Amino acid sequence: MKLPKFFPNRPAAERQKLSRIRHLLSEPGILHGSLQANRRRCGKPTCRCASGELHVALQLRVMENGKQVSIHVPAAWEERVRKWLDRDREVRELLLELSAFYAARLRERKE
């Protein structure tokens, strides 16, 4: 079964970018922020961190209401959160490429 083209009158490069964005947005989860690995000592004298092997905790840094906040990322969620961040990054890159494409069309006064 052949799928219909959603953007038939557009150049191929534009159609590909729009289709890719559509696909990315149909996947579950998208997140704008950054991961930060924090290393620290817990303070227990018998813990491995007392001899220099620090504990690592992942923090997600995001903007909420104009302020940067940190959210702890459990180890079990790390891969999922990384996928969400990667998806956001790819969508933003594609949008910038499309924006440049449309700006060029505007300069050339093309429909």
Domain boundaries, the chain: 33-82
pLDDT for 4-13, tens place per residue? 555 567 788 8
Average pLDDT for 30-46: 90
In the three-class reduction of DSSP (H, G, I as helix; E, B as strand; rest coil), residue 25 is classed as helix
Dihedral sign, CA of 42, 43, 47, 53?
A: positive
| pTM, entire model | 0.76
Whether 26 shows a pLDDT value over 90: the answer reads: yes
91 in Cβ contact with 34 (< 8 Å) = no
> pLDDT value at position 5?
56
Whether 101 shows a pLDDT value over 60: the answer reads: yes
